Structure 1
Amino acid sequence: MLKQLVVAVFSAVLVASPAKAAEKLRFAVGPFQPSASDTKKAYEPFFKHLAEKLGREYELVVTTDWAGIAVALANGQADVAWMGPWGYVLANSEGGAQAIATVKYNGKPTYHSIIVARPDAKITKWPEDAKGLRLSLADAGSTSGWLVPTHWFKTQGIDPKSYFQYRDGASHAAQVLSVVNDQTDLASDFDRNLNGLIERGTVKAEQVKIVWQSDPLPNDPLVVRKGFDTAMTKKIQDAVLAITEEEAKTLMPKNYTGWVANTHAGYKLIEDAGIAVGRLKPQQASK
């Protein structure tokens, strides 16, 4: 399944040291920012802090898509990853990766999938008023951009491929802009990303409106690969849980405020959605 989802496994941004490779912690992070360099800049302070707390050298890999990070964990190319919930569930089902913590955003360990439109879109009743419009979902490894809206449409008895002028496969960085630039009428995203685009001035709040929002979803997990050292896993978990809200202001991207402990059970609703849309078999789940 992962091989079917991945176009390119990953593009590496290495932060290496002269130490032996075996002594390094291999960190990975998903494509949370518009480019790999943006992601590296935003997330490296956290991983550098973590490595320093553990007294280890490290290298950091930024993946090009959401499923690629699951492949990296499954293939033993990464030890620890900050990734999306659906990518984590795939990594668990295919390679036995385990969540050890969930990130907090503005103090909460949850976020929402959203669908946005231009403010002049005449959509009062959703989704009836949007039937026949152009809909863009993100790549199939994305939780909020593909899995959650796809699952929601299924619960409503709607096939988005026939209900809308449908396309998928775009990055989150392109989704909102495709609406702003009139390349599509509707696009999936997640509320954190939209907030970030507005705060960075990439888009203006008045250029889009939210026409659909999911129930709360578990935020991004911090994940360790199958077979990773148990004692080191505990040290990593302790180190991230110790990050205060004040420390998070310099160690983590804007509005991220720390971590809470979690396990695979905390991502069951994501796993259930994957099973419901046929991208995950029940016997693959909960490894």
Structure 2
Amino acid sequence: MKKALTLFIMVCIFVAVLSGCSTNSAGAGSDTITIAWLPNDSGDDKSASREEIGKIIEGATGKKVELQTTTDYTIAIEAVANGSADLAYLGPQGYVEAHDKNEKVLPLVVPSGESGTLDDAKYYSWLSVKKGNEAAYQDGDGFKIDNIAGKKMSFVSTSSTSGFKVPTSGIVGYFSKMDQYKTLTADDLMEGGSGKFFSEVLFGNSHQGSAVNLLSGKADVAAFCDFCVSNYVELADGEDNKTGAVYQVKADAEEPFNAFPGEQFEVISVTPVLNTPFVVNTEKLDQATVDKLIEAFTSDEVANNPKIFAPKGGLFTKKGNEKMLSVEDSWFEPIRELSK
């Protein structure tokens, strides 16, 4: 009887502990909102932008903000899906994965395009090679990706839209038209070796990491996006975001590019991608708080804030009428289609 009573008490304590751990830590009664950031946006070069976003959230809600930087895509995605973070800044594919894990995770806002609308709310996925190696991929005045087969390839993360999902979809779409690769799938591109499409596959865990894999010679070809490396490189030749564009690492580039000043790479493939959203776990934040956040993010104050939208060095580039816009889940349907 004593053993049964002891066991009952232990179970009650365990349940109570679990209940305490699962308390809605950022609901209407909480004084803290946590926002998770992907590795690409967790570096020192984005710290001023992260802090400014935190101030915007604090001003709109009256709640304290905790900025949760990460070293892995999965950590940020899981954080907002399981509720340990209330908000997150995720790539389109990361959002789709978080929503699949928890349908209460929904998009909050995305940065518009230069027009100030969703029509051109895009960034770019690149396949790049080191300058000097581009001849193997040239085809007249253009480029072909035929010769990436058998090479050492660097992606960002399997949860990255522009660093994995989009480039692998493009590679499969291109090569599966050839008899030799007609059964090729994205899964076949996840690891290299004998008999595989690539001789070796690396994952940089961030867009910066994938670019460094290329610059260091660990990879022959690398996938990463334009704006994720824009603080570290500058256009050296060609037209921005066009195949054949050559970029050079800035002399004063911060880590992890500081080891490669002056190094150049050339872009051999460019694909537009839907812009990256701020997302919210609506189990953790009530609708009144969500509405306040949308109002604050889409304000002129944010659109004209040089620490957020800046000609250079901000979280987003300001070229024209860029601003934040609210967006629905359905806007990301083209990203879901990539997995079908």
Q: Same-fold call, TM > 0.5?
A: yes
Q: 1:129 aligns to what? A: 147
| Deviation at residue 226 of structure 1 after TM alignment | 3.4
Alignment-derived partner of residue 131 in structure 2 = 119
Match of residue 268, structure 2, among 211, 226, 242:
211
CA shift in 2, pair 1:84/1:246, >3 Å? closer
Specify the alignment match of 2:305 in structure 1: 248
- Once the two structures are overlaid, the 10-residue window that deviates more, 35-44 or 108-117, is 35-44
Q: Does 1:166 align with 2:200?
A: yes
1:29 matched to 2:47? The reply is no
| Structure 2 partner of 1:100 | 108
| 1:57 equivalenced with 2:64 (yes/no) | yes
Q: Structure 1 counterpart of 2:125, which letter?
A: S
Give the stretch that moved more between structures: 201-210 or 81-90.
Answer: 201-210
**Aligned twin of 1:230:** 287
Name the structure 1 match of 2:243.
none
**Residues 30-72 of structure 1 deviation map (CA, whole Å, 9 limit, x = unaligned):** 2224x55444443121121221122222211112222221211
Q: Give the AA of the match of 1:232.
A: T
Show the counterpart of 1:42.
Answer: 49
Given that 2:302 and 2:308 are in contact with CA atoms closer than 8 Å, whether structure 1 keeps it comes out as no
Name the residue aligned to 2:245: none
SS of match in other structure, 2:73: coil
Contact persistence 1:243–1:259 (CA under 8 A): no
Alpha-carbon spacing, 1:176–1:197, altered in 2? closer, same or farther (3 Å) = same
RMSD after superposition: 2.5
Match among 257, 268, 271 for residue 336 of structure 2: 271
Higher relative helix content: 1
Give the letter aligned to residue 197 of structure 2: Y
Aligned to 2:166: 148
Report the TM-score when normalising by structure 1: 0.79
Counterpart Cα distance in 2 of 1:196 and 1:174: 14
**How does the TM-score come out when normalised to structure 2?**
0.68
Q: Indicate if the aligned counterparts of 1:27 and 1:61 stay in contact, CA closer than 8 A.
A: yes
How far off is 1:246 after superposition?
A: 5.9
**Partners of 1:209 and 1:109 in 2: CA distance:** 24
Q: Tell me the matched-pair count.
A: 254
Q: Distance in 2 between matches of 1:140 and 1:23?
A: 34
Q: 1:221 aligns with which of 277, 281, 288?
A: 277
Aligned-pair CA distance for 1:129? 2.9
> What's 2:22 paired with?
none
| Letter matched to residue 234 of structure 1 | D
Mapped partners of 1:188, 1:39: distance in 2: 21
SS of the residue aligned with 2:306?
helix
Q: Is the 8 A contact 2:50 2:67 kept in 1?
A: no
The answer to whether the 8 Å contact 1:111/1:219 transfers is yes
Whole-angstrom CA distance in 2 between matches of 1:246 and 1:70: 26
Q: In the TM superposition, what whole-angstrom CA distance separates every residue of 1:79-133 from its partner, at most 9, and x where no partner exists?
A: 1111111111111010121002112465652111111101211211421133322
Identify unmatched segments of 5+ residues in structure 1. Answer: 1-20, 277-287
Q: 1:211 to 1:205 in 2, by over 3 A?
A: farther
Deviations 1:243-273 (A, max 9, x none): 4576331245252543122111111111121
Query: Are residues 105 and 63 of structure 1, via their aligned partners in 2, closer, same or farther at CA, if it must alter by over 3 Å?
Result: farther
Structure 1 distance, partners of 2:64, 2:78, is 23
* Aligned partners of 2:124 and 2:273 also within 8 Å: yes
In the other structure, the counterpart of 2:83 is 76
Once the two structures are aligned, what percentage of the paired residues are identical? 21
Out of 312, 326, 332, which is 1:261 matched to? Answer: 326
* Equivalent position SS for 2:30: helix
Which residue pairs with 1:15 in the alignment?
A: none
Instruction: Give distance in 2, aligned partners of 1:192 and 1:106.
Output: 14
Please say if residues 208 and 229 of structure 2, whose CA atoms lie closer than 8 Å, have aligned partners that are also in contact: no
CA spacing shift, 1:62–1:206, aligned 2, 3 Å: closer
Structure 1 or 2, whichever has the larger Rg, is: 2
Q: 1:22: how far off? A: 2.2
